[in-house]
Amino acid sequence: MDHQKIKELISSYHDGELDEAQKKRVERHLEECPECRKEFEEMGKFEEVMSQMELKKPQKEAWQMYWTSVYNRLERGIGWILFSIGAIILLFFGGYKLVEGIIQDASTPLILKIGILSILGGLVVLLVSLLREQLFVRRRERYKEIEK
Amino acid sequence: MSEETAVRREFLLQKGRFVMAKDKALSEREIIILVKRGNKEAYQAIVERYMKRAYYIALGFVRNPQDALDISQEAFIKAFRRIKSFDIERPFFPWFYKLMKNFCLDHLKRRSRIQEVPLEESRVLKEEHEDREMKEVLWKGIESLPVEQRETIILRYFQQLSYQEISEITGKPVGTVMSSLFYAKKRLKETIKKYLNLGG
pLDDT tens digits, one per residue of A105-148: 888 888 888 888 889 889 889 988 888 887 766 555 444 444 44
The pLDDT confidence band at residue A18, using thresholds 50, 70 and 90, is very high
**Residue whose C-alpha is closest to residue B23's, from B46, B39, B4:** B46
User: Would you say A26 and A13 are in contact if contact means Cβ atoms under 8 Å apart?
Assistant: yes
User: Would you say B36 and B89 are in contact if contact means Cβ atoms under 8 Å apart?
Assistant: no
Chain A CB contacts of B163 below 8 Å: 12, 15, 17
Question: To the nearest whole number, what is the mean pLDDT of chain B?
Answer: 83
The minimum CA-CA distance between B171 and chain A, rounded to whole Å, is 11
**Inter-chain contact B182–A54, Cβ cutoff 8 Å?**
no
**Residue whose C-alpha is closest to residue B44's, from A70, A121, A138, A81:** A70
> Which ipTM value was assigned to this complex?
0.74
Segment A97-108 shows an average pLDDT of 84
Count of all residues that appear for chain B in the document: 200
| The predicted structure's pLDDT at residue B23 | 46
The pLDDT confidence band at residue B22, using thresholds 50, 70 and 90, is very low
**Residue whose C-alpha is closest to residue B137's, from B186, B181, B189, B183:** B189
Best CATH choice for the domain B8-123 from the list 3.30.565.10, 1.20.120.1760, 1.25.50.10, 1.10.1740.10? 1.10.1740.10
Asked if residue B19 has pLDDT above 70, the reply is: no
**Inter-chain contact A74–B40, Cβ cutoff 8 Å?**
yes
Asked if residue B123 has pLDDT above 90, the reply is: no
- Identify which of A42, A71, A146 has the shortest CB distance to residue B189: A42
User: Would you say B176 and B134 are in contact if contact means Cβ atoms under 8 Å apart?
Assistant: no
Domain extent listing, chain B = 8-123, 127-200
Asked if residue A32 has pLDDT above 50, the reply is: yes
Asked if residue B1 has pLDDT above 80, the reply is: no
CA dihedral over A92, A98, A102, A104, signed as positive or negative: positive
pLDDT tens-digit readout, A61-80: 899 899 999 999 888 887 88
Q: Residue A69: closest CA among chain B residues belongs to which residue?
A: B73
Show Cβ contacts of residue B132 under 8 Å, excluding neighbours closer than 6 positions: B125
**Residue B124: strand, helix, or coil:** strand
Segment A16-32 shows an average pLDDT of 93
Interface test with A, best of B182, B190, B193 (most A CBs within 10 A): B182
The percentage of chain A sitting over the pLDDT mark of 70, rounded to a whole number, equals 90
Domain extent listing, chain A = 3-51, 58-100, 105-148
**Residue A105: strand, helix, or coil:** coil
Q: Does domain B127-200 have CATH number 3.30.1450.10?
A: no
Between CA B36 and CA B34 the distance in angstroms is 5
Beta-bridge mates of residue B22: none
- A73-78 LR contacts (CB < 8 Å, sep 24+): A73/B73, A73/B74, A73/B77, A74/B40, A74/B77, A74/B80, A77/B77, A77/B81
Chain B CB contacts of A58 below 8 Å: 55, 65, 69
Residue of higher predicted confidence among B113 and A44? A44
pLDDT tens-digit readout, B149-194: 999 999 999 999 999 999 999 999 999 999 999 999 999 999 988 8
Residue of higher predicted confidence among B3 and A104? A104
Give chain A's count of helices (H) and strands (E): 5, 1
Beta-bridge mates of residue A55: B123
The minimum CA-CA distance between A89 and chain B, rounded to whole Å, is 23
Residue A22 to residues A17, A146, B39: CA-CA distances in angstroms? 9, 35, 49
- Please state which of the ranges A18-27, B114-123, B130-139 shows the lowest mean pLDDT: B114-123
pLDDT tens-digit readout, B39-81: 988 999 999 999 999 999 999 999 889 999 999 999 999 999 9
**Residue whose C-alpha is closest to residue A46's, from B188, B83, B51:** B188
**Residue B123: strand, helix, or coil:** strand
User: Would you say B170 and B178 are in contact if contact means Cβ atoms under 8 Å apart?
Assistant: no
The pLDDT confidence band at residue B113, using thresholds 50, 70 and 90, is low
**Inter-chain contact A146–B59, Cβ cutoff 8 Å?**
no
The pLDDT confidence band at residue A23, using thresholds 50, 70 and 90, is very high
Segment B118-144 shows an average pLDDT of 70
CB pairs under 8 A between A and B: 116
What global pTM score does this model have? 0.72
